[in-house]
């Protein structure tokens, strides 16, 4: 087991445990749950696989559970309310602890429910997808989607700990595993060239789910994110580099109704956009773009955007993205491979040129 400490101000630091078989270790759970009342939030895919095991590791506590349908389209205020219903119908107090058992959607919703229930209760994340292990594990972002935009309603709320049990990745389908690798690649691209090179050499091991390779990739990803977040917990500056590919990616997800692309797939396509745009601005060269597309393809991820979204639709969708202040469109680009540049207010002609090439 590797332990990575996420350092935050105000007593909000917490550990991430990464390893095999962690889900059923009562001592890990007991270390972080003093509550007698525990609500496990999971989804219909994950609950049958891991919920009984987790509930039994919680021992004599009063354990209740909410099982949501599986999918980004259920990450809404409406389904959030079912978590509040469960907490209140069991008369759970401010001292209760919530556990998110599932992927990023479950983590975001459970964290947001914990942030809001009685104005804030504790929660623990047990991410069961690679994407959630390398992304939602660090940063404290929680929330739900709105029909007009992704993650528009939410809160910053840090977990007590994150338990990333790599065994849970054995039940992940190949497409989900690749979607997680999109965020892993992102960390290499934005600030860790050495890790990117390691990924170029070890992608096959990751796709074969070799435990040691997975543990290393998760640990390096979380460590990179934790360093960025520690410097900028509430996203006022540096943290924005974590959004490489995301402004484009969110537009793709919103434009296609959240049900056609996995988040990681949309981000992969978005990183391709960002690479192309960085080249047009003269910051990286054509060889760099090819290398970026190659590592994305090696992870069995798409770089082709959806044919049904015209360029103008991207501009519309990107202008409501919450990274964009006062209607302007800002994106994260690369000034080199392994080095992201802070938000860049892109000219609409340059943006449309990239969009026309990729999305036209």
Q: Which residues are catalytic?
A: 119, 141, 183, 225, 235, 239, 243, 246, 250, 263
Whole-number minimum distance, CB 14 to a second copy, in Å?
Answer: 18
Bridge partners, 4 (sequence order) = 16
Measure Cα distances from 95 to 49, 54, 91, 124 in Å. 28, 20, 11, 13
- Would you say 93 or 356 has its CB closer to a second copy? 93
Left, alpha or beta for 192 (phi > 0: left; psi -120 to 50: alpha)?
Answer: beta
Strand partners, 68: 43
Cα distances (angstroms) measured from residue 205 to each of 106, 167, 198, 200: 28, 15, 11, 11
For residue 66, the cross-strand partners are 41
* Binding footprint of a second copy on the chain (CB under 8 A): 36-37, 77, 80-81, 84-85, 88-89, 91, 93-95, 115-120, 141, 143, 146, 148-149, 152-156, 234-235, 319-320, 322, 324-327
Residues 6+ apart with CB under 8 A from 110: 41, 83, 98, 99, 100, 123, 125, 142
Q: How far is the CB of 118 from a second copy (least distance, A)?
A: 4
In the complex, minimum distance from the CB of residue 80 to a second copy, in angstroms, rounded to a whole number: 8
Distance of closest approach, residue 149 Cβ to a second copy, in angstroms: 6
Residue 130 or 329: the one with the smaller Cβ distance to a second copy is 329
Q: Which is nearer to a second copy, 213 or 329 (CB)?
A: 329
Residue closer to a second copy by CB (options 8, 293) is 8
Q: How far is the CB of 169 from a second copy (least distance, A)?
A: 29
State which residue, 89 or 307, has the beta carbon closest to a second copy: 89
**Cα dist from 34 to 239, 257, 275, 321, whole Å:** 32, 40, 47, 39
Closest CA to 196 of 125, 310, 77, 295: 295
């Amino acid at each position: 087991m590797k332990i990575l400490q996420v350092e935050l101000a105000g007593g909000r630091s917490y550990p991430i445990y990464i390893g095999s078989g962690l889900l059923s270790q009562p001592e890990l759970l007991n270390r972080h749950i003093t509550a007698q009342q525990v609500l496990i939030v999971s989804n219909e895919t994950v609950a049958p696989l891991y919920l009984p095991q987790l509930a039994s590791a919680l021992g004599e506590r009063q354990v209740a559970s909410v099982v949501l349908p599986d999918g980004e389209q259920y990450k809404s205020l409406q389904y959030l309310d079912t978590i509040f219903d469960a907490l209140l119908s069991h008369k759970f107090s401010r001292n209760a602890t919530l556990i998110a058992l599932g992927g990023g959607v479950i983590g975001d919703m459970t964290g947001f429910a914990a942030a809001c229930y009685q104005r804030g209760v504790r929660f623990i994340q047990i991410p069961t997808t690679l994407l959630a292990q390398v992304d939602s594990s660090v940063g404290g972002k929680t929330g739900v989607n709105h029909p007009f935009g992704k993650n528009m309603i939410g809160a910053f709320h840090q977990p007590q700990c994150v338990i990333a049990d790599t065994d849970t990745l054995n039940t992940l389908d190949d497409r989900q595993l690749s979607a997680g690798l999109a965020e892993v690649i992102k960390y290499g691209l934005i600030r860790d060239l050495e890790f990117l090179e390691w990924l170029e050499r070890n992608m096959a091991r990751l796709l074969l789910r070799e435990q040691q390779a997975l543990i290393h990739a998760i640990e390096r990803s979380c460590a990179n994110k934790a360093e960025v977040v520690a410097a900028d917990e509430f996203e006022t500056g540096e943290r924005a580099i974590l959004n490489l590919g995301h402004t484009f990616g969110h537009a793709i997800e919103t434009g296609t109704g959240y049900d056609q692309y996995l988040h990681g797939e949309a981000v992969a396509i978005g990183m391709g956009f960002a690479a192309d745009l960085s080249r047009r601005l003269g910051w990286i060269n054509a060889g760099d773009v090819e290398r970026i597309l190659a590592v994305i393809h090696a992870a069995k991820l798409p770089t082709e955007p959806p044919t049904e979204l015209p360029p103008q639709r991207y501009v519309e969708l990107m202008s409501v993205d919450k990274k964009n202040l006062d209607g302007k469109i800002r994106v994260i680009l690369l000034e080199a491979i392994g080095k992201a540049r802070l938000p860049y207010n892109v000219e609409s002609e340059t943006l449309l040129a990239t969009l026309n090439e990729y999305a036209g």
